[in-house]
Chain A
């Protein structure tokens, strides 16, 4: 059996189950309105969650990005002091952070797409519910009870399909959001412990190992300079 045939039949079976639960069209309608409302509420909740996790990732990204400028500056100053080893260390750290930032960018992009998908689905369902309400009254006015039931059921299977689709998106977005949350927490922990970044804040502000070395270098060169000056003085009394 092909993928599409199977996919379609599973999808339709679920939609059909929703429509077949009730014999009385009025009961069926009430149930579907209720379900639709439930779905829309859940959709809105999920959108809020998605936006929240996107903001969190963006904040982490900003924090990481701030470190890049500091590390670049340290590398430059290290080179000026002829400390290539220090410059290399700073650039290595910069690279690690850059990779993390790229990962975050991809995640943020993915969340953005999910958010758009959810919002699009919400618009679709809302429009269909309104249309459905109008049609229901029209059908009841124009057709006999038996015919109306058939017509309403036809419309309902269309609506059920939409609900099935939204249910699936919701499921996937929720799974993804959970995974994302776990990842963001892990990243926060790494940042807090200083493993990943915040090299600039691990001891005192702006006093990392690289910074300390740089200070020592400039101190050393000041001492050397003074020493040379003294030597010159003593040699030429």
Chain B
């Protein structure tokens, strides 16, 4: 199955859902890989390095957010569909992101 031209639904938490092209999804994935590398480096004990990395991680997430909101088409409120990818909002703190990596989750149990 070819992923060329395939449209995907992306949710940015707190911002709603967007319809994006596979080209944008690929760019989002590249950013995702870069974040993973940064998070791995984040376990370094060097405090300055740590702060620098935190900033960089945030910048990558912000870039992801901007990419999807500027290039994607916002879904109407009345459209009901699940998303293919869910992206954290750029407002999330790094402590929250760490929780995601530890699979603690961020969503309260209902």
Contact = CB atoms under 8 A, between A and B. Distances in A.
A34 B85 CA distance: 27
B49 interface: no
A167 interface: yes
A10 B88 contact: no
A7 B107 contact: no
Given A4-B28, A157-B82, A165-B14, A11 B107 contact: yes
Contacts of B96: 172
Where chain B touches its partner, the secondary structure class is: loop
Nearest to A3: B35
A167 B108 contact: yes
Interface in A142-191: 154-155, 157-159, 161, 163-165, 167-172
Interface of A: 2-8, 10-15, 17-18, 35, 113, 117, 120-121, 123-124, 127-128, 130-132, 135, 154-155, 157-159, 161, 163-165, 167-172
Given A8-B85, A117-B14, A167-B107, 15 more contacts: A2-B29, A2-B35, A3-B88, A6-B100, A7-B86, A8-B84, A10-B105, A12-B86, A14-B107, A18-B110, A123-B77, A157-B82, A159-B80, A168-B106, A172-B91
